[in-house]
Amino acid sequence: MWSEDTAAVIECRNLAKAYAPTGSTGQRFWQLLWGQAHRTVGRWALDGVSFQLGRGEVLGVVGCNGAGKSTLLQMLCGTLSPTAGDMVVRGRVAALLELGAGFNPDFTGRENATLNAALLGLTPEEVQRKLPDIVAFADIGAFIDEPVKTYSSGMFVRLAFAVATSVEPEILIIDEALSVGDGAFARKSFERIMDLKRGGATILFCSHSLYQVEALCERALWLNAGRMQAIGPAADVCAQYQAFLNGLAGLARGHTGAMDGMLPADASNASDPSGVHRQTVCAPAGGGRITGFTLRCAQQMGAEVTVRSGLDDVAVEISFVCDPALPCPVLALGISDQNGLTVSSALSLMDQAPLNRRPDGSGQATLVLQRLPLLKGRYSLTPFLLSEDGLHPYDQVLHAGHLRVTQDGPLQGVVSLPRRWL
Amino acid sequence: MADKTLQKRERGPDPAASPRSAGQTTVRAVLQALWPGRHWGLTLQLATRELAARFRGQGLGWAWLVLAPLLMLAVYTVVLTQVLGVRWGTAAAHSSGTDLEFALQLYAGLAVFAFFSEVVLRAPRLITNVPHLVKRVVFPLEILPWVSALAAMVTLVLAAALLLAGTAATRGQLPVSALALPLVWLPLLPLTLGLGWLLAAVGTYIRDVGEVLGLALGALLFLSPVFYDAASLPPALQLPLGLNPLAVVMTQTRQVVLVGQWPAWDVWAAVMLAGVMAALLGAAVFTRVRSGFADVV
């Protein structure tokens, strides 16, 4: 029934997974032992999932917490068995789920790397051949021969990532984080995943960051309560999912999903409460930081300005530093309303506005929002500093500034569209 | 359409490499679980790591491997002979029944029991202790009892060395029958592995097994001829003792090392058969229920 000649590396048909109701594990044992079908089915974590994925395709999986994303990824890794349905996975799988979960704190980094690589399926000879690469990539110096318990969390995750990606996978399964560690390593790890992608690896990537899903994936799958809500071109699916999230945000005031969804929250090095001026003496190696954020409107200047809707221009000044060794970064600005709904955003890359960066790595850019078309309300501004291709976030300052928009007249909504009456 | 519960997985270039079917136990799958086969390298690596982990960060380190049994033996010997005034067997045996002679008799039983309990006691938590191997990677979980057994075997080999050295030192010579010691101990391997698979499989689903097992092993220590000579029991109790494979192994250990008799081969064969049956049963149960591990760990 499986077409062996197709290019599909992953095929799923009506895949379903039910977790046994808690507390009846003993019952489950006897059922498995005597080969009885499940009489007691608990929660269906996943139901009726079917899709095919060809070599080199990148599929983004989106959905709320508990939608079944992790269950699907674990089944594809082969660690969970489906309750029903068929699944074929062709090729060596590497999973970036819970990095370093198998490390023993009392052993040195080198010992843990050797054993973990063996657990991932490398033969002893392959492990010996790859070990220098792993050590070089992790780049933790003499610590490689110290017990892992003496590592900082950054060093730990560096080593774990180096081991996990050393197996030259044909299929890569990533839960949430496209990059790990901080600064230079975050970019390096991101580059490695991109290299694998360019090398033809099939990638399944699950993320809350719709921005990254759209930027990286051709196709996306939206899971909702264990069922396939949509599958198709990433832009379409993300738009549908975003609309669904906005609906939720409208229901529950104070929900902050949308803006957090734009970029992974853990990418922010710090969310400064004041967010106006952050002192950084020099550019962080291999990364960048936002160092200043100021709003100007008429005579006002600061982190919050009052703007007359449709009349005033708002100037957003963002200063940054970025490792001069890296290509010039790009800036982005997200504008969200009080519910967390992303009202609009701007990306210097899209606007083809190259930034000016001084030789020491610092730079500044001003974005002017002409005759601000937002309607009355309070809006939050979040600046982002991203790699030159706009994919890898270096820094963000959540809600660095606020706009208090006033308006004349009773118009409702968030935005005043350019319009004419004929 | 395929059967609703069929799961197909193909790994590597060979499409028929290892199709794993949930809820389907073939004889081949059970036999594959018995022997690590191509996972030997991994098994040895894990066993080494387990031993190393035990002694890592301790001042005396590996010396504990020898010190621990010696100290335990000293405590048992002193308490039993000096405090409780126990004498070995019917006093007819070899030398007068000195403390050293008592210690050797005791150690012959204790070494066997220590190996058995070291592997069996940890078995119920073998799977639950390594959730990352169950959930995060495709791992041959069936090698885990082998890992425990190999690590415990190091202790057992040291115990043999101590027992033989002690016998040679007190008696001035070793009987030729001592050569049969590895063979006498051989049935322990399938027996403990089989119990290892069985208990690991059951213990993952039914956590109470660990508690019950602690009590059961405490009782087994006294139901096996560790502190007494099997021959000194009344005839009515000889038969139930003969059904305990550990008792047979302990008695035969004393025979080949301390008495200088060759073991009764028919009894040995029976124990070996029991051990192999235990291994087959354990591996069958393990293979049958392993597909649900990830759901309950």
DSSP characters for A204-236? EEE-S-HHHHHHH-SEEEEEETTEEEEEEEHHH
CA A185 distance to own-chain centroid: 16
Q: B138 touching A, CB under 8 A?
A: yes
Scan for tokens 């790591």, then name that residue: B49
Nearest chain B alpha carbon to A85:
B4
| Residue of A81, A95, A121 lying closest to B136 (CB–CB) | A95
Nearest chain A alpha carbon to B52:
A107
pTM beyond cutoff 0.80: no
Q: A1 touching B, CB under 8 A?
A: yes
Nearest chain A alpha carbon to B200:
A29
Amino acid B22: pLDDT: 41
B138–A78 C-beta distance less than 8 A: yes
Q: What single letter denotes the amino acid at residue A29?
A: F
Residue B179 DSSP one-character state: G
Give the best residue of A12, A19, A24, A25 to mutate against chain B (max B CB count within 10 A).
A25
| Residue of A25, A81, A115 lying closest to B7 (CB–CB) | A81
Phi and psi at residue A377, to the nearest 5°? 145, 180
- For chain A, which residues score pLDDT lower than 50? 1-5, 253-276, 280
CA dihedral A258, A264, A265, A270 (to 10 degrees): -130
Amino acid A268: pLDDT: 39
pLDDT of B3 strictly over 90: no
Could you give the C-alpha distances from A230 to A63, A236, A240, A244, B150, in angstroms and in order? 10, 9, 8, 12, 51
Q: List the domain boundaries for chain B.
A: 21-296
Residue A56, Cβ neighbours under 10 Å: how many? 16
Over residues B74-97, the pLDDT tens digits come to 888 888 887 777 777 655 444 455
A97–B136 C-beta distance less than 8 A: yes
Give mean pLDDT, residues B204-211: 90
pLDDT of B173 strictly over 90: no
Over residues B95-130, the pLDDT tens digits come to 455 778 888 899 999 999 999 999 999 999 999 988
Q: A346 touching B, CB under 8 A?
A: no
Q: B26 touching A, CB under 8 A?
A: no
- CA separation for the pair A132, A43 (Å, rounded): 46
At residue B58 the predicted structure's pLDDT band, cuts being 50, 70 and 90, is confident
Phi and psi at residue A168, to the nearest 5°? 50, 65
- CA separation for the pair A5, A2 (Å, rounded): 9
CB A202 within 8 A of CB A191: no
| Residue of B7, B57, B205 lying closest to A28 (CB–CB) | B205
Tokens of A59: 């599929």
Which residues of chain B from 183 to 222 reach within 8 Å of chain A, CB to CB?
201-202, 205-206
Amino acid B140: pLDDT: 85
Q: Is B18 helix (H, G, I), strand (E, B) or coil?
A: coil
- CA separation for the pair B257, B260 (Å, rounded): 6
Q: B294 touching A, CB under 8 A?
A: yes
Domain annotation for chain A: domains and CATH numbers: 8-91+206-246 (3.40.50.300), 271-406 (2.70.50.60)
- CA separation for the pair B181, B115 (Å, rounded): 15
Amino acid A251: pLDDT: 59
- pLDDT over 70 percentage in chain B: 88
Q: Is A43 helix (H, G, I), strand (E, B) or coil?
A: strand
A121–B7 C-beta distance less than 8 A: no
